[in-house]
Amino acid sequence: MLTDTASLQTVLDVVGVLVFALSGAIVAVRRGLDLFGILVLAWVAGLGGGIIRDLFLGITPPVAVSDWRLLAAAVTAGLGVFLLHGTWEQALLARPHARWRRVSSVVRLLDAAGLAVFAVSGALVALDRGAGPLAATLIGGITAVGGGMLRDVLARQVPEVLQRELYAVPALAGAALVVLLQHLGLLSPLTAWGAVVLVFVIRVVAVALDLNAPRALRSTPVD
């Protein structure tokens, strides 16, 4: 098992890059982009959050450009989606009523997994670099939402973080939990993965139940 913080961080990073890169690659296919467009969007979605995290913490160059394993994870995700997309769609056509056939549901599941992993990873790295509790929590949240945000801005769709269901909240909660665990001396690979699972579950439940935050009252549209 994982015994030290460095390897825990690396595993979290590779998993997070992989799932976010898959989400980026699928969005790219949906937009009709070619192989290189798919790879670019996979890279941006997978590594964007970590790049923001590293810039915020003064880690230069960001691990996203210096660690070949992260690059390999993003490229693998992009190539995988490129090669398997046709097969997958054929399988979906054979089962027209499957709920998971909607591409957007798959993207949201992957996005939820990336959100969970990067919230914890962001907070861990920030604590490791001596950031205070508030900074570590916010950096965890920003790391989690950053990649998806860049993906959506480049693909010109409404950023997930501004959509209706709870999105940044589970990420911030997960990062705050990591900060609390460290403060209590309970931070270990096991509890860190527990925080990942918690964020993922909250986010998936929020999407499934369409849990919305309240909106400001608007009597009539006013420009």
Residues 139-168 that bind a copy of itself (CB under 8 A): 139, 142, 149, 153-156, 158-159, 161-164, 166-168
Q: How far is the CB of 18 from a copy of itself (least distance, A)?
A: 18
Q: How far is the CB of 195 from a copy of itself (least distance, A)?
A: 19
Interactions with a copy of itself, residue window 34-63 (CB under 8 A): 34-41, 51, 55-58, 60-62
- Spatial contact of 212 and 165, defined as CB atoms under 8 Å apart: yes
Q: How far is the CB of 81 from a copy of itself (least distance, A)?
A: 7
Burial 180-217 (b: 16+ CB within 10 A, else e): ebbeeeebebebbbbbbebbbebbbebbeeeeeeeeee
State yes or no: residue 75 binds a copy of itself (CB under 8 A). no
- Nearest to 147, CA basis, from 48, 75, 56: 48
Cα separation of the two ends of the chain: 57
Q: How far is the CB of 185 from a copy of itself (least distance, A)?
A: 23
Question: Contact with a copy of itself (CB under 8 A): which of 4, 32, 97, 99?
Answer: 32
Question: How far is C-alpha 78 from the geometric centre of its chain's CA atoms?
Answer: 15
Span interacting with a copy of itself, options 15-23, 84-92, 111-119, 173-181, rule CB under 8 A: 84-92
Residue 201 or 213: the one with the smaller Cβ distance to a copy of itself is 213
Q: How far is the CB of 49 from a copy of itself (least distance, A)?
A: 14
What are the backbone dihedrals phi and psi of residue 160, each rounded to the nearest 5 degrees, phi first? -50, -35
Residue 19 or 64: the one with the smaller Cβ distance to a copy of itself is 64
Residue 95 or 186: the one with the smaller Cβ distance to a copy of itself is 95
Distance set, CA 220 to CA 216, 217, 223 (Å): 12, 9, 10
What are the backbone dihedrals phi and psi of residue 165, each rounded to the nearest 5 degrees, phi first? -80, 160
